[in-house]
Amino acid sequence: MSVKSIREVEGKALLKRWLPEFSNNAFGIDCAGCLVTPEVLDSTKGQTWDSLLEQNPWLKTTKLVAKPDQVIGGRGKAGLLAVNKTFNEVKAWIMERMCKDVTVAGITGQLTHFLIEPFVPHAQSEEFYVCMQSHRYKDEIFFYHEGGVDVGDVDSKASKLAVPTGLDVSADMIRSELLSEVPPGKQQSLALFIKALFDLYKKLHFAYLEINPIAMIGDSTIVPLDLVAKIDETAAFLCASMWGQLDWPSPFGRAAYPEEALIRDLDGKTGASLKLTILNERGRVWLMVAGGGASVVYSDTWTPWQTMALVTSWRTTGSTPGHQAPRETYLYAKTLLSMMCRHKHPEGKFLIIGGGIANFTDVAATFTGLIKALDQFADQIKENNIKIWCRRAGPNYLEGLKKLKVASNKLGLGIKVYGPETHITAVVPMALGLVPVIEEPDLSGGSAPPPVRKLIPVKNKVKVPKAQKVPPKGEKHTILGFAKGEFAIVFGLQNRAVQGMLDFDFMCKRKTPSVSAMVFPFSGNHFVKFYWGTNEVMLPVYTSTKEACAKHKDASVFINFASFRSVYETWLQLV
């Protein structure tokens, strides 16, 4: 899952909105605070101190707390906390620090966002610590009867309650397992609060939620004072409407670039997934890769190689999975190249264009946009001594590689172009000059030449697993085979997979192909040619699952190649 931090003001806003519903109105937050941004430095921008007062009149009527809201740990110990102040005092405190660099725990960054919230008077004895974390097969609740900046190592001294994934927890269980050190008069109310908080935590797909301290004033009033939260972003398809608009701030110490915001905006307007993360705008190595898996593979490969090659400035990464129109690819590549050409590096730079299967990417179509950007930046690429290496596979990859190589020769860019015959990360050590450059493949062959790779002989030390155990008596364990009279619909333009199925069908002496149709939402209805033995057959491709099922009622199997982002909607359409 993709776990991302959110701002404290957003976390408290979620608690304010949903905690009453999950606690039957027993608990709630009166005020989540307000966020102060750098816009207050410019009276012509949207946010001003006057507008803040107009939107939040409580700022003038109560004592206040102010602190940076940028995913910074240890704010209290770092002196980044103003407590029990008036509005004018808070304003002066923030303006003194706004857009200034500070160092916290060895990390230097610029303070740009501040949270102002009401000051809650309370005694030290009324502070507690509560934290919830998600693990692979369980959620875990941590509780300690003391809270605050000096709580210490809670991992070693906090009480813990493990809740297996999918199970609920009761208030009685929380009270007996976690609250033994809490005064008896407070236990019931605190247990009910933690129960409601945990239900909210699961429903909104938090991955981490820490409140330190949580103040319990009297025996029933509970106020979260300091909050740290992370959310599983991949759950957006389930509960984005419950989250509302979240900011997803960059980690403290890493500036947020306008180019990243541009790509995020472009990502929100397309069915493809366009991501851009800039780690070092002066770095030598830049990646433009198709798919999250390729991002991980290339990043893991660069890490040891860059150490050996003494590459001190590292990389920026881009991820472009999914089906993209040439225009989207052009805008993405243009953004990446403009940043690459912004700062020269004495040793030159590398751009790796990589990817593997890329389920829904028509490589030839997306490369049209890439080539347009390369044409626009050709002179700057040469001036900055940028070497481009491409290793791509996926639907229609050969045509795409041909186009890229022709453009490279025309523009004089010297791009090295490889297909699936080359290992996906082989271009990394070749780009750094650590291994000899292998010969580029002949792109003049057929439409889909089979990969040819040299295998390294190794001794097989892996023991062959034993056959699966017979299931216990009384349990149903039926394996359904794909009978000769059954047919399938394939979701995704997976030509190679479908051709493999047809080849297997033909070898098994089936009279007709087992695939009735394919579904590809990103283009109009059309036909795709496949081989049936030595003959050719045409399989229809539809833009919707509904149409495919309506026209091929004999199909009883649905093979889904949808990505994680879209698989949920795909199955909903089917059922």
Task: Report d(CA 371, CA 394) in Å as an integer.
Answer: 18
Query: Which positions ≥6 away from 171 have C-beta within 8 Å?
Result: 188, 191, 192, 194, 195
Query: Is residue 132 located within the same domain as residue 113?
Result: no
Query: Is residue 155 located within the same domain as residue 203?
Result: yes
Last residue of a domain, one of 385, 401, 431: 431
Please check whether residue 466 lies inside any domain of the structure.
no
Last residue of a domain, one of 65, 99, 118: 118
Query: Is residue 510 located within the same domain as residue 566?
Result: yes
Quick one: pLDDT at residue 308? 38
Return the residue matching tokens 């992370």: 230
Q: Residue 222 phi/psi, 5° resolution?
A: -120, 130
Task: Report d(CA 176, CA 154) in Å as an integer.
Answer: 19
Return the residue matching tokens 């034993």: 466
Quick one: pLDDT at residue 454? 54
- CATH number for the domain harbouring residue 160: 3.30.470.20
Quick one: pLDDT at residue 166? 84
For CA atoms 172, 173, 177, 182, the dihedral sign is negative
Please check whether residue 476 lies inside any domain of the structure.
no
User: Distance of CA 284 to CAs 253, 343, 349, 378, Å?
Assistant: 20, 10, 4, 18
**Contact present, 148 and 137 (Cβ < 8 Å):** no
Say how many domains are in the chain.
4
Return the residue matching tokens 């109009």: 524
- CATH number for the domain harbouring residue 65: 3.30.470.110
Query: Which positions ≥6 away from 387 have C-beta within 8 Å?
Result: 348, 349, 350, 351, 414, 416, 431
- Three-state DSSP at 72 gives coil
Q: What is the pLDDT along the chain (575 residues), one digit of tens a residue?
A: 578 999 999 999 999 999 999 999 999 898 999 999 999 888 777 889 999 999 999 999 999 999 999 988 888 888 899 999 999 999 999 999 999 989 888 888 889 999 999 999 998 889 999 999 999 889 999 999 988 877 778 888 899 999 998 889 999 999 999 999 999 989 999 999 999 999 999 999 999 999 998 999 876 789 999 999 999 988 887 888 999 988 888 888 877 788 888 887 887 777 667 888 887 888 888 888 887 677 778 777 776 655 433 333 333 444 454 455 678 889 999 999 999 999 898 889 989 998 876 555 678 888 899 999 999 999 999 999 999 999 988 778 888 899 999 999 999 999 999 988 888 888 888 888 888 888 888 887 654 445 555 555 555 555 655 555 565 666 665 556 667 778 999 998 888 889 888 988 888 888 899 999 999 988 789 999 998 888 889 999 999 999 999 999 889 899 988 876 677 778 887 77
Beta strands in 80-149 (DSSP E): 82-85, 101-104, 107-110, 114-118, 127-134, 138-144
User: Distance of CA 436 to CAs 426, 427, 433, 451, 516, Å?
Assistant: 10, 10, 7, 20, 47
Please check whether residue 455 lies inside any domain of the structure.
no
Quick one: pLDDT at residue 394? 79
Please check whether residue 10 lies inside any domain of the structure.
no
Query: Is residue 177 located within the same domain as residue 326?
Result: no
Query: Is residue 40 located within the same domain as residue 131?
Result: no
Nearest residue to 276 via CA among 285, 264, 290? 264
Query: Is residue 112 located within the same domain as residue 154?
Result: no
Please check whether residue 536 lies inside any domain of the structure.
yes
Please check whether residue 468 lies inside any domain of the structure.
no
Query: Is residue 135 located within the same domain as residue 77?
Result: no
Domain that holds residue 181: 124-224
**Contact present, 271 and 398 (Cβ < 8 Å):** no
- CATH number for the domain harbouring residue 291: 3.40.50.261
Quick one: pLDDT at residue 307? 43
Query: Is residue 294 located within the same domain as residue 407?
Result: yes
Query: Is residue 287 located within the same domain as residue 308?
Result: yes
Global pTM reads: 0.65
**Contact present, 290 and 354 (Cβ < 8 Å):** yes
Quick one: pLDDT at residue 313? 35
Query: Which positions ≥6 away from 199 have C-beta within 8 Å?
Result: 22, 168
Query: Which positions ≥6 away from 267 have C-beta within 8 Å?
Result: 273, 274, 275
Query: Is residue 106 located within the same domain as residue 143?
Result: no
Quick one: pLDDT at residue 293? 72
Query: Is residue 505 located within the same domain as residue 553?
Result: yes
Query: Is residue 275 located within the same domain as residue 210?
Result: no
Please check whether residue 106 lies inside any domain of the structure.
yes
Last residue of a domain, one of 174, 204, 224: 224
- CATH number for the domain harbouring residue 529: 3.40.50.720
Please check whether residue 534 lies inside any domain of the structure.
yes
